[in-house]
Structure 1
Amino acid sequence: MNSHLLDGRYRILTVLNTGEVAQTYLVEDTSLPNSQLVVKQLRPPSNNSQTLKVLRSLFANKAKILEKLGQEHDQIQKLVTYFEEKEEFYIVQEYIPGNPLTEEVLQGKPLKEDQLISLLSEILEILVFVHVHGVIHRDIKPANIIRRHSDNKLVLVDFGVIKEVITTTVGKSEYLPDEQIHGTPKYNSDIYALGIVAIAAILGLQANDISKLKSQKNRLTSEILWHNQTTEVSRKLAKILNKMVRFNYRKRYQYATEVLEDLKQLKNNQHDQQEQHQKNLWLIVSCIAGCITLGVWAWFLQSPKLVSNAQKLYQQGVSKYEVGKFQEAVEYFTEAIELDSQNALAYNRRGDTFYRLGDYQKAQADSSKAILLNPQDANAYYDRGFCFYQLGKYQEALADYNQAIKLDAKNPFFYYGRGITRIKLKDNKGAIGDFSKAIAIKPDYTEAYLERGILRRRLQLKQAAINDFDAVIGINPSDAKAYYQRGLTQAANQQKDGAIKDYTNAISINPKYIEAYLNRGDIYSDQGKQLEATEDYNKVLQIDPKLTAAYIHRGLHRFSFGNYKGAIEDYNQALELNSQDAAAYNNRGNAYLEMGNKKAAKEDYSQAIAINANYGLAYYNRGIVRAKMKQKKGAIADFQKAAKLFQNQGEKDSYKDAQKELAILQNSVPVNNSRAISGKRSKN
């Protein structure tokens, strides 16, 4: 039909479906004669290069997830490959000879109850697998469920997760629940959609009746009113279907396993006679085989239920984890493990939950167990790497990240973890390389840009750092931390107005961003804007009245404007909160010295030195006051100590100041004009 070969190999045979965002073709792979495949073409909403770069990475990540699902479950459409051509994205999937479920339902003829239960159970079994792997189908409807000719099994096709990568527009499917329409799909959004399919099937509706069905709602609760339309539906089945399509997702079934369990009980009740026959047979078998055989058979019959319950508990744990109820999540994962001790996924998830709770030892133990059960689980190594990182075992963390990358070299998060670990190991070049690799794989990875930018700033690569922070803001204009970090970099470049603008943006996004207020206040103070600086420091103290650093910053500000009494009050408050704050003693000493109280100043410098024996500023300042008090020998000793510390710490200007004071003393030149070094060097 079309002479053009997609990706140089796929010949279009016919158009299967056309939409605003996607078009679907039946194609032949020219390298495999007589082969038939399905190709879905996705059109991005924009050809902007940055947008395409982000979409390219997201598309590849989602495609890999679907590829894995199809490989591991026979009733999920297999994804063969994916590619990009002329700034459009394509996925190639297996063609499944069979009939869509629309030919079994939506035909104006109701299904019998046992038929519906069987249909629902088979689809729910597939959804259990999908949800356990962290995927939401997002487009459950009869057209996306195929009855395969070869074995008469149902196959789930056309996952909406890929299409939603390309467009943020939610489809107009009559099967979508309210939360998905508003862009926040849950796992049980799939259950809702399947519930609508089931109600349509049991009522014998036609396709154009679905919208009418959803419009028949209780005005107060928004629940669909349907089960009064027929007397053919049992009360228990109606109750199950109603719970599947509850308007509020919190009141709906949370897991596919829950629906399966209720359907199983309903089916059992409908087959009481068959159950009684099985019990009689069981009694005969038990009498003949004896207690040992009885135990074996009991285990055999119960074990599937145990595994099913373990899976249900696991999903409940995931649900609690996702809403931040970590302690409850731990309890569910623990119960799941007790029922199924070989559940590597439950160990992995429980370990992640312990990590969130700050119990890194237990998190590390669970990750190790998950690795023992499944040595090929790259994510378990990644999780354990973070545990080792938090425990300060950086070499062990590095080894785990290396193994994770060996197992999955295209996972950006693994490179990020190794990058932050390399920073701790002083391997800055390696860290930048890892962050760059993570960004290459995932171009919208804001955390990687941010960490690379912070590291570049520390390495004095200021423009490169700004470029990284610009990238974060371009991807997410509401990232307060990116504005703050760019502000720090601009301040280091003496671009003070730009820094103030960035701090202001950070504050507008996060009105309680203490560090942004403090740094903006410092720049205002340096610019002589006394009122603006004071307002920023006061705002910080309003947010946190017990923040020692805020009193020190405001004290330095007051000192710079000659308000020595006010500065001393701030330092007193800081010391009341933290009696071991050496900077507060040093800075108070400066204020006392300006007020002419040399004795109090000397005592404060000595106290700062007692707390921090490597405090070069305190030695220097005590040298100044000792020189003023004519204590030449002590002053020389202090300047010598200060000079040595400044030299070791790379403080070149301060080192020159100390050497100058030594020369003055050694040449017996009067020192009355010497001043203590500004305490601004002592900010937190």
Structure 2
Amino acid sequence: MSYCLNPHCSKPENPNDVKFCLTCGTKLLLKERYRAIKPIGQGGFGRTFLAVDEDKPSKPPCVIKQFYPQAQGTNTVQKAVELFNQEAIQLDHLGQHPQIPALLSYCTQDDRQYLVQEFINGLNLAQELAQNGAFNETKIRQLLIDLLSVLQFCHSREVIHRDIKPENIIRRGSDTRLVIVDFGAAKYATSTALNHTGTSIGSPEYVAPEQMRGRAVFASDIYSLGVTCINLLTARSPFDSYDTHNAAWIWRQYLKTPVSNELGKIIDKMLESIPSRRYQTTDAVLKDLNIQSTIGIPPTIISQPATQASPNYPPNFVSQTPSQIEKELLEIKTKFIGGKVQPKNVAQQPSVSTNNPTKQDAVDKELQEIRDKFLGNG
């Protein structure tokens, strides 16, 4: 099917082999190559269509965004024009990243503005949440690592997205990577812009307090990503996870599965209402995530009691061979004492370079007890 782009057409559906609408006569091909197939979204300032690129033999899918403001008032329409133009500029600068849709074209036809961008085939995270239920800690950690690197790319180019939410994050079907879409609300964070109060833009449930006042900063995206995490962990509206009377997030009590104290602290810092108390950069969040993901001792669990018999030791200890256990104990010892540890039996008191023999003796004693417990010598 070919879908007419004229918003006033009474019968927009057409056969896929015609070049002009059979009802209103509007040209069906945008820039003589992009053919709209069906509408897939509509907002106050435009419509979105699934389309194909007929200039290529494989006719790959793409997305056509049509600027079609329905709001009244000169100032409102002018702001919408600026945002639409801005999105095209953002995509042109950022589309080189594999997790941001590429801009294919930006044009005007029949006195209406259009942009054509890469089609990302997959479910957005709101759809995934509805289909599969709440996320667990593993999925949230992977989501953060995946998306923080994309935001890092945007911020390094002075761009604040300003509308991070589950609906604007798509899990691409071909490789399961997460893709950030809809840069219509994005803005350049120039020194002038950051010191100027602008328009409050974004989805109310996910917007940082300073952004609500028109003063978005890079940390505003980090806040919105933190809110996205609690929505995915609780399967509840973020509004329902915030206590307005005490001005505090209470998301932990609505968790579907427990999360570690470490991850909880990271999310809490992402959600700080005062920007200066929040993570200032994506690098800082990634650093905390990566450090905690390499710790050998498992995190303490919140909201539900631990069910393992030995919660203070790695859960796979009991299934390891003696040599594997010896190796892990040596690694733990190195973390606590520092210096170089030679790979030999813990019981033989390996030589460690340290200025604190008392601390070494205490650690050696505790590690020996762990070794005896799991190797059957206790």
TM over 0.5: yes
* Matched residue, 1:328: none
SS in 2 for 1:104: helix
Structure showing the higher strand proportion among its residues: 2
- Equivalent residue letter for 2:140: L
Aligned residue runs from structure 1 range 211-360, under 5 A: 211-213=239-241, 216-220=242-246, 222-230=247-255, 232-269=258-295, 276=328, 279=331
Assess if the C-alpha contact under 8 Å between 2:46 and 2:65 holds in 1: yes
SS in 2 for 1:232: coil
Q: For 1:447-492, what per-residue CA distance to the aligned partner results, in whole angstroms no more than 9, with x for missing partners?
A: xxxxxxxxxxxxxxxxxxxxxxxxxxxxxxxxxxxxxxxxxxxxxx
* Matched residue, 1:196: 227
Unaligned runs of 5+ in 2: 4-20, 22-27, 189-197, 299-313, 315-323, 335-339, 344-378
- Equivalent residue letter for 2:222: I
Q: For 1:333-372, what per-residue CA distance to the aligned partner results, in whole angstroms no more than 9, with x for missing partners?
A: xxxxxxxxxxxxxxxxxxxxxxxxxxxxxxxxxxxxxxxx
Separation of aligned partners in 2, 1:58 and 1:197: 23
Q: 1:70 aligns with which of 68, 88, 95?
A: 95
* Matched residue, 1:38: 63
- Equivalent residue letter for 1:180: Q
Distance 1:126 1:6, change over 3 A: same
Structure showing the higher helix proportion among its residues: 1
Whether 2:184 is the aligned partner of 1:184: answer: no
Q: How many residues in Structure 1 have an aligned counterpart in Structure 2? A: 274
Separation of aligned partners in 2, 1:108 and 1:99: 11
Whether 2:190 is the aligned partner of 1:138: answer: no
Separation of aligned partners in 1, 2:248 and 2:266: 14
The alpha-carbon deviation at position 62 of structure 1 amounts to 5.0
Whether 2:30 is the aligned partner of 1:6: answer: yes
Separation of aligned partners in 2, 1:264 and 1:30: 45
Assess if the C-alpha contact under 8 Å between 2:171 and 2:178 holds in 1: yes
The alpha-carbon deviation at position 93 of structure 1 amounts to 0.7
- Equivalent residue letter for 2:232: A
Whether 2:127 is the aligned partner of 1:96: answer: no
* Matched residue, 1:21: 45
Distance 1:48 1:211, change over 3 A: closer
Assess if the C-alpha contact under 8 Å between 1:11 and 1:28 holds in 2: yes
* Matched residue, 1:115: 139
Separation of aligned partners in 2, 1:241 and 1:79: 32
Separation of aligned partners in 1, 2:200 and 2:113: 17
The alpha-carbon deviation at position 127 of structure 1 amounts to 0.8
Question: What is the TM-score when the length of structure 2 is the normalising length?
Answer: 0.62
* Matched residue, 1:170: 201
Distance 1:169 1:178, change over 3 A: closer
- Equivalent residue letter for 1:212: D
SS in 2 for 1:127: helix
SS in 1 for 2:185: helix
* Matched residue, 1:210: 238
Separation of aligned partners in 1, 2:85 and 2:180: 21
The alpha-carbon deviation at position 143 of structure 1 amounts to 1.8
Distance 1:95 1:128, change over 3 A: same
Assess if the C-alpha contact under 8 Å between 1:59 and 1:162 holds in 2: no
Separation of aligned partners in 1, 2:180 and 2:342: 42
Assess if the C-alpha contact under 8 Å between 2:63 and 2:117 holds in 1: yes
Separation of aligned partners in 2, 1:58 and 1:94: 19
The alpha-carbon deviation at position 192 of structure 1 amounts to 1.2
* Matched residue, 2:11: none
Separation of aligned partners in 1, 2:92 and 2:154: 12
Distance 1:127 1:284, change over 3 A: farther
Question: What is the TM-score when the length of structure 1 is the normalising length?
Answer: 0.36
Identity over aligned pairs, percent:
35
Separation of aligned partners in 2, 1:80 and 1:268: 41
Unaligned runs of 5+ in 1: 286-684
Assess if the C-alpha contact under 8 Å between 1:223 and 1:247 holds in 2: no
The alpha-carbon deviation at position 271 of structure 1 amounts to 5.8
The alpha-carbon deviation at position 102 of structure 1 amounts to 2.3
SS in 2 for 1:170: coil
Q: For 1:597-640, what per-residue CA distance to the aligned partner results, in whole angstroms no more than 9, with x for missing partners?
A: xxxxxxxxxxxxxxxxxxxxxxxxxxxxxxxxxxxxxxxxxxxx
Whether 2:155 is the aligned partner of 1:124: answer: no
SS in 1 for 2:205: coil
- Equivalent residue letter for 1:110: A
SS in 2 for 1:198: helix
Assess if the C-alpha contact under 8 Å between 2:34 and 2:53 holds in 1: yes
- Equivalent residue letter for 2:268: N
Whether 2:172 is the aligned partner of 1:148: answer: yes
Separation of aligned partners in 2, 1:21 and 1:59: 9
CA RMSD of aligned residues (A): 3.5
The alpha-carbon deviation at position 255 of structure 1 amounts to 1.1
Aligned residue runs from structure 1 range 270-669, under 5 A: 276=328, 279=331
Assess if the C-alpha contact under 8 Å between 1:42 and 1:88 holds in 2: yes
Assess if the C-alpha contact under 8 Å between 1:38 and 1:95 holds in 2: yes
Separation of aligned partners in 1, 2:187 and 2:41: 14
Separation of aligned partners in 1, 2:121 and 2:39: 16
Distance 1:150 1:87, change over 3 A: same
- Equivalent residue letter for 2:102: K
Separation of aligned partners in 1, 2:106 and 2:206: 28
Assess if the C-alpha contact under 8 Å between 2:62 and 2:118 holds in 1: yes
The alpha-carbon deviation at position 70 of structure 1 amounts to 1.2
Separation of aligned partners in 2, 1:141 and 1:25: 21
* Matched residue, 1:456: none
SS in 2 for 1:160: coil
The alpha-carbon deviation at position 17 of structure 1 amounts to 0.9
Q: For 1:15-72, what per-residue CA distance to the aligned partner results, in whole angstroms no more than 9, with x for missing partners?
A: 11111122111112232252210111223557979x86x987875565233212112x
* Matched residue, 1:674: none
